[in-house]
Structure 1
């Protein structure tokens, strides 16, 4: 017999968003990054995402933030 699905607020995604929202990231942005990483690693990817308090997710969020800041400044890095 299968276990019932966890209620909202008790799932892995909820724990991740609660943890990472403390850094000031928007919950929808966190969910999108986690979704993208799970697409890359598969459903078993949670082990990699959770290991060490979500550093992989945090790094991706910081990369996105840096890219947004760069786009807003209008500066781009070009190869010469």
Structure 2
């Protein structure tokens, strides 16, 4: 399963990426998908949003929203996950 984390600004997204990488998490930086209307323009792709979000909270990094990405015949669909 793939999850997309969004942030209020680019600085926070970059800071979050650094924190996750330093902790050994697999993380990818990506442009904010067009199916997501909230965020700063870049997002992070993670496999385990619960552990990732917990680590970010410990480091006082605020995640704006989390989306679950799933593919269907029409493309990728993003469903917001309650934090």
Which structure carries more helix by proportion?
A: 1
Which structure carries more strand by proportion?
A: 2
Higher relative contact order (CA 8 A, sep 6+): 2
Larger Rg computed on CA atoms: 1
TM-score by length of 1: 0.32
TM-score by length of 2: 0.31
